[in-house]
Amino acid sequence: MLFVNNIISWKTHVKCMKSKLGSVCYAMQSFKPYVSLNTLKMIYYFSFHSVMTCVLLLWGHSSDSIKNVRLCRKIIRIMMGCRNSDSCRKLFFNLEILLLPSQYILSLLLFMKRNRNQFLANSEIYHIDTRQHTNFQ
C-alpha cells in the first residue's frame, strides 16, 4: 500500500491511521465496563500510542494530523468516562499522557539527540561567538 500520494502529502497515510485508531476506540469502549483504568491505560499505550507515534516524526506537522488528535481526545474521554463536550486538558494531565503536539516535539528532540552527528551547531558554521552559538542548524 502506498502511503504518500503523488503530490507528496500524508493525507492517505493519516486516513489509513485514522481507520486503525478508530477500531482501537471501539475496542476501548467495549473493554471500559470490564477493566480498570490502569488496564485501559496499558491498552492505550499498546494499541493506540504505539500506532500514533510510529511515524509521528514524518506526518506530525501535517495539517491532516488533526483528525488523529481528535481520535486521541475521544479515546481519553472514553477512558475517563467523560462526555464529548468535556475538556481533555486535565484528563491528559491526570493520566500522565502527552498531547500529540508535545509528543511530536519530544520525538523531534530525541531524534536530534540520537543523530547529533547529522546536525551542525551555529559555531561550526559561523565563527562568531554569540548567544546562539550552540543552537543547531
The pLDDT, as a whole number, for residue 61 is: 67
List, as one string, the DSSP characters of the chain.
---S-TTS-SHHHHHHHHHHHHHHHHHHHHHTTTS-HHHHHHHIIIIIIHHHHTTHHHHTT-GGGHHHHHHHHHHHHHHHT--TTS--HHHHHHHT---HHHHHHHHHHHHHHHTGGGS-BHHHH-----TTTT-B-
Give pLDDT tens digits for 49-103. 887 777 677 766 667 777 777 888 888 888 888 888 888 888 888 888 888 778 8
Look at residue 1 in the predicted model and tell me its pLDDT.
Answer: 47
Closest CA relative to residue 77, chosen from 22, 31, 29, 21: 29
Facing residues of 18 across strands? none
At 34 the pLDDT is 93
Provide CB contacts within 8 A for 131, sequence distance 6+.
none
- pLDDT, tens digit (0-9, with 9 covering 90-100), for 122-136: 777 777 777 777 777
This prediction has a pTM of 0.69
6-54 pLDDT tens trace:
566 667 777 777 788 888 888 888 988 999 989 988 888 888 888 777 7
CA distance 17 to 54: 11
Residues shown for the chain: 137
Give the position of cell 476506540.
25
pLDDT higher than threshold 60 for residue 105: yes
pLDDT score at 44? 86
Q: What is the pLDDT of residue 3?
A: 54
